[in-house]
Structure 1
Amino acid sequence: MDPTPPASSPSDPSPADRKRWRRMLADEREESKVYRDLAGRRTGDEREILLGLADAEERHSDHWAHLLGSDAAAIGRGSLRMRLLAFLGRRFGSVFVLALAQRAETRSPYRGDADATPAMAADERIHEEVVRGLAVRGRARVSGTFRAAVFGANDGLISNLSLVLGVIGGGASRTTILLTGIAGLLSGALSMGAGEFVSVRSQRELLAASAPDTSDARTILPQLDVDANELALVYRARGIPAEEARRQAEEVLRSNDPAADVEATTPDGDGSDVIGTSVGAAVSSFLFFATGAAVPIIPFVVGLQGVTAVVVSAVLVGLALMLTGATVGVLSGGPPLRRALRQLAIGAGAAAVTYGLGTLFGAALG
């Protein structure tokens, strides 16, 4: 596509127009670099897809460069958001970067820009879906361990802060508070790790039990009667409608290699690669719960006491909750700030209730 200016482009652009074009050009160049950096860390299909996206962004760069003419040579860096994305792409190349890139494509201004061509606006809409697909692949690869890590950290933060505030409300001494926090950290981390191990192991065993067994296909299938057999029932049991199951069974048995055909109709894998390993989930959950649970007791470990220790503990936990909430928001494609505030509200609510109950029980027992 030739980077010719649109008919609606002003013949004598204002300084504001040229400033906007320069910003668009710089951002497109940064975005192209992001995709090329990510492609350098991928192989096969994903690499080709990312390089295709980079080529498209360079076409858009050519459009703005054409409008700017000689001014295009003096273009600086892109926006802070795009520079951050490029930095993360060079350093990490992870699903986190793809999630940010997806949000960047979603916010493309071309749909309402008079100087962008309709083809460019359509490109960006397609790019959003392409990056969404790549991000889904990445999320699937890390979903099991990531889920355990996020849940572990959140549980550690909220449960141990609530536990510590509960005994503070009951009038416990600094030593008791510290011992309670350490006990909560260890017991909770061990419980979370064991729970994740059992959960993921059970899920993998369930998936393995549900996966079709084709080990005897090459021995059994060639011996079946072409006109009277139960192969169609196998397909019907997998959810295929009766007529389609019968037709598929007939095609398989009349082929040159029935066993190869029936293996080809079997889904690849059993889905266990999506949920991760039981050991990985358990270790991740243990470590992240312990890390989260350590945050509320840091002020008491370093010797702070009274209201100062409580305030510092609450602030540290609040910041950590917002960080985990924002991370989940980015990876899920949702608004990070909203997810961060939601996590903060949940943690604050749980801590306030526990502190209140601790105060009531402390007064009743005192």
Structure 2
Amino acid sequence: MTADDATRQPDGQQRGTAADRDRWRRYLADERAEAAVYRELAARRDGEEREILLALAAAEGRHEAHWLRLLGGDESGIPRADVRTRMLGALARRFGSIFVLALAQRAEARSPYSTDPHATAAMAADERIHGEVVRGLAARGRRRLAGTFRAAVFGANDGLVSNLALVLGIGATGVPAPVVLFTGIAGLLAGALSMGAGEYVSVRSQRELLEASAPDPGARDALGDLDLDANELALVYRARGMAQDEAVDQAALVLARVQAAERQPAPTDAIGTLEHDDEAVGTGMSAAISSFLFFASGALIPVLPWVFGMSGLAAIVTATVLVGIALLLTGATVGLLSGAPPLKRAMRQLAIGLGAAAVTYVLGLAFGATIA
């Protein structure tokens, strides 16, 4: 069979070159794999998130049908999905976490449909909107992680960088290995305790500021006794940023509802609370524990060569390599969760961390030469 014959449908109509049809088959395989990813994620969720993910899977099914129509229903020679999509599917089956949503967000952004003449404008638009839908779902998970995750990431990175800088600076002076080891352990404990205490105070202070800004629920009890002509409630809305006319209208509406309810404050009185901010802030104790543990785990890595009896330049090089790997991992993790390129974030993290350590190492060499 010739290539030209392979591109003809049973009705004799020409539909694409052999290269086109190979590309359509790849698109078909990828659409099926992406739909499977969304179904796997939906299986681990319930409620609205489950419905949204299933709707995304259905949309990928429509795209799949488009390529299958162009192929005349011929499913022979369909390749495996690309490596990224297969990896995404494997992660979705095993974890179904925010990391998978963050990866899916990036996958949707890489869609080639906007430049492919055989993809419809609606399909290209779908892919762009899918990226925003997945971004919204990932944002929910990011908000749930915000408080504790922030403390954990910053704690681990501070531990890695500060203790590497400490042991490299001390090690470069030429002091005995036990001195470097005990200096590193002291830096680990001091830094972890400082981070834990600092995070506790920081988060508690933030929560106290939010509580101080939150409306007093007891103020609702006064609504029924307000003078309808003076309408002091309008001042509340103006203090919160409403324009004068809008504030007056809103206050009049609220008071009218209160009067109609026989002095019982309406649930829509808009005095409200700020309880929804608690989730993003987290608790002081959870942030403190996370900071302590993650700083300690990060700070332990640069000390490991001396723990296992290494010394001198070999220990310094080993510590630098271990911390470099850890910095790459944490940087890539932050990049994935934020929807940014993981490699770029990983390299930035590596450059900042090793740059700081290099400064103290050079200073250690200078002091060591002076002492000698």
- After TM superposition, the score normalised by the length of structure 2 is 0.91
> Take 1:148 and 1:126, find their aligned partners in 2: how far apart are those partners?
32
> Take 2:306 and 2:25, find their aligned partners in 1: how far apart are those partners?
53
Q: Go from structure 1 to structure 2 and tell me whether the alpha carbon gap of 1:281 and 1:27 turns closer, same or farther (over 3 Å shift).
A: same
Q: List aligned pairs for 1:112-127, cutoff 5 A.
A: 112-127=115-130
Does residue 109 in structure 1 map to residue 112 in structure 2?
yes
SS class of match (2:72)? helix
Residue 40 of structure 1 is aligned with which of 35, 39, 43? 43
Q: Which amino acid aligns with 1:92?
A: F
Residue equivalent to 1:198: 201
> Take 1:270 and 1:133, find their aligned partners in 2: how far apart are those partners?
17
- Contact 1:155-1:289 at 8 Å conserved across structures: yes
Q: Go from structure 1 to structure 2 and tell me whether the alpha carbon gap of 1:97 and 1:221 turns closer, same or farther (over 3 Å shift).
A: same
Q: List aligned pairs for 1:146-165, cutoff 5 A.
A: 146-165=149-168
> Take 2:123 and 2:183, find their aligned partners in 1: how far apart are those partners?
60
Which is further off, 337-346 or 265-274?
Answer: 265-274
> Take 1:31 and 1:189, find their aligned partners in 2: how far apart are those partners?
42
RMSD in angstroms over aligned alpha carbons? 1.8
Residue 223 of structure 1 is aligned with which of 222, 225, 248? 225
> Take 1:263 and 1:248, find their aligned partners in 2: how far apart are those partners?
9
> Take 1:290 and 1:11, find their aligned partners in 2: how far apart are those partners?
66
Cα drift, residue 76 of structure 1: 4.5
Residue equivalent to 2:313: 307
- Contact 1:207-1:270 at 8 Å conserved across structures: no
- Contact 2:157-2:295 at 8 Å conserved across structures: yes
Could you list the runs of 5+ residues in structure 1 that have no partner in the other structure?
Answer: 1-9
Q: List aligned pairs for 1:21-32, cutoff 5 A.
A: 21-32=24-35
Q: List aligned pairs for 1:136-147, cutoff 5 A.
A: 136-147=139-150
> Take 1:75 and 1:143, find their aligned partners in 2: how far apart are those partners?
42
Cα drift, residue 119 of structure 1: 0.8
Q: Go from structure 1 to structure 2 and tell me whether the alpha carbon gap of 1:210 and 1:151 turns closer, same or farther (over 3 Å shift).
A: same
Residue equivalent to 2:214: 211
Runs of 4+ in 1 over 6 A off after TM superposition: none
The CA deviation string for residues 8-64 of structure 1, in whole angstroms up to 9 with x for no partner, is xx9243332222112111111111122122222223222221111111111111112
Q: List aligned pairs for 1:226-305, cutoff 5 A.
A: 226-255=228-257, 256-257=260-261, 259-264=265-270, 266=272, 269-305=275-311
> Take 1:190 and 1:29, find their aligned partners in 2: how far apart are those partners?
50
Q: Which amino acid aligns with 2:354?
A: A
Cα drift, residue 98 of structure 1: 1.2
Which is further off, 252-261 or 107-116?
Answer: 252-261
Which is further off, 12-21 or 206-215?
Answer: 12-21
- Contact 1:214-1:263 at 8 Å conserved across structures: no
Residue 57 of structure 1 is aligned with which of 50, 56, 60? 60
- Count of matched residue pairs: 356
Cα drift, residue 267 of structure 1: 5.5
Identity among equivalent positions (%) equals: 63
Could you list the runs of 5+ residues in structure 2 that have no partner in the other structure?
Answer: 1-12
Does residue 187 in structure 1 map to residue 190 in structure 2?
yes
Residue equivalent to 1:337: 343
- After TM superposition, the score normalised by the length of structure 1 is 0.92
The CA deviation string for residues 155-193 of structure 1, in whole angstroms up to 9 with x for no partner, is 111111100000111111111111111111111111111
Residue equivalent to 1:362: 368
Cα drift, residue 243 of structure 1: 0.9
Cα drift, residue 85 of structure 1: 1.0
> Take 2:274 and 2:28, find their aligned partners in 1: how far apart are those partners?
43
Q: Go from structure 1 to structure 2 and tell me whether the alpha carbon gap of 1:265 and 1:67 turns closer, same or farther (over 3 Å shift).
A: farther
- Contact 1:171-1:362 at 8 Å conserved across structures: yes
Does residue 350 in structure 1 map to residue 329 in structure 2?
no
Q: Which amino acid aligns with 2:58?
A: D
Residue equivalent to 1:78: 81
